[in-house]
Structure 1
Amino acid sequence: MNTTALQGLKVLDLSRVLAGPWASQLLGDLGADVVKVERPGAGDDTRSWGPPWVPTAEGTPSRQAAYFQCANRNKRSIAIDMATPEGQALIRELAAQADVVLENFKVGGLKAYGLDWESLKALNPRLVYCSITGFGQEGPYAHRAGYDFLIQGMGGLMSLTGRADHEEGAGPQKVGVALVDIMTGLYATIGVLAALRHRDATGEGQHIDLALLDVQVAALANQAANYLTSGVAPKRMGNAHPNIVPYQDFPTADGDMILAIGNDGQFAKFCAVAGHPEWATDERFATNPARVANRAVLIPLLRQATVMRSTAEWIAALEDAGVPCGPINRLNEVFADPQVLARGLKVDMPHPQFGSVPLVANPIRLSATPVQYRVAPPTLDEHGAAVLRDWLGR
Structure 2
Amino acid sequence: MTTSPRALQGVKVLDLSRVLAGPWCGQLLADLGADVVKVERPGAGDDTRSWGPPWLKDAAGEQTRDAAYYFCANRNKRSVTIDIADPEGQALVKRLAMEADVVLENFKVGGLEQYGLDHATLLKMKPGLVYCSITGFGQTGPYAQRAGYDFLIQGMGGLMSVTGRADGEEGAGPQKVGVALTDILTGLYATVGVLAALAHRDRTGEGQHIDLALLDVQVACLANQTANHLIGGMTPRRMGNAHPNIVPYQDFPTADGDMILAVGNDGQFGKFCEVAGKSEWSRDERFATNAARVKHRAELIPLLRQATVMRTTHEWIVALESAGVPCGPINRLDEVFADPQVIARGLRITLPHTMAGTVPGVANPIRMSASPVAYDRGPPMLGEHTAEVLREWLGVDA
Q: Assess same fold via TM > 0.5.
A: yes
2:198 alignment counterpart: 196
Higher mean C-alpha displacement, 323-332 vs 55-64: 55-64
1:114 alignment counterpart: 116
Among 133, 139, 142, the residue aligned to 1:140: 142
Which ranges in structure 1 are unaligned for 5 or more consecutive residues? none
- Tell me the secondary structure at the aligned position of residue 258 of structure 1: strand
Q: Contact conserved, 1:11 with 1:100, CA < 8 A, in 2?
A: yes
1:335 alignment counterpart: 337
Aligned structure 1 segments of 4 or more residues deviating by more than 2 angstroms: none
Question: Which TM-score applies when normalising by structure 1?
Answer: 1.00
RMSD: 0.5
Shift, 1:63, TM fit: 2.5
2:39 alignment counterpart: 37
Shift, 1:231, TM fit: 2.1
Q: Deviations over 1:141-182 (max 9, x none)?
A: 000000000000000000000000010000000000000000
Q: Deviations over 1:165-220 (max 9, x none)?
A: 01000000000000000000000000000000000000000000000000000000
1:278 alignment counterpart: 280
- Tell me the secondary structure at the aligned position of residue 115 of structure 1: coil
Among 291, 294, 299, the residue aligned to 1:292: 294
Count of aligned residue pairs for this structure pair: 394
The 2-side partners of 1:254 and 1:124 are apart by: 63
The 1-side partners of 2:129 and 2:137 are apart by: 23
- Tell me the secondary structure at the aligned position of residue 344 of structure 1: coil
1:158 alignment counterpart: 160
Query: What one-letter code is carried by the residue in structure 1 that aligns with 2:194?
Result: V
2:151 alignment counterpart: 149
Shift, 1:59, TM fit: 1.3
Shift, 1:268, TM fit: 0.2
Query: What one-letter code is carried by the residue in structure 1 that aligns with 2:14?
Result: L
Query: What one-letter code is carried by the residue in structure 1 that aligns with 2:367?
Result: R
Q: Deviations over 1:95-151 (max 9, x none)?
A: 001000000000000011100011101221110000000000010000000000000
Whether 2:307 is the aligned partner of 1:305: answer yes
Whether 2:365 is the aligned partner of 1:367: answer no
Whether 2:242 is the aligned partner of 1:247: answer no
Residue pairs, 1:1-394, within 5 angstroms = 1-394=3-396
Which ranges in structure 2 are unaligned for 5 or more consecutive residues? none
The 2-side partners of 1:200 and 1:63 are apart by: 41
Percentage of pairs with the same residue: 77
Q: Contact conserved, 1:161 with 1:172, CA < 8 A, in 2?
A: yes
- Tell me the secondary structure at the aligned position of residue 183 of structure 2: helix
Q: Deviations over 1:322-380 (max 9, x none)?
A: 00000000000000000000000010012110111000000000000000001110001
- Tell me the secondary structure at the aligned position of residue 317 of structure 1: helix
Shift, 1:393, TM fit: 1.7
Query: What one-letter code is carried by the residue in structure 2 that aligns with 1:115?
Result: L
The 2-side partners of 1:22 and 1:205 are apart by: 22
Query: What one-letter code is carried by the residue in structure 2 that aligns with 1:87?
Result: G
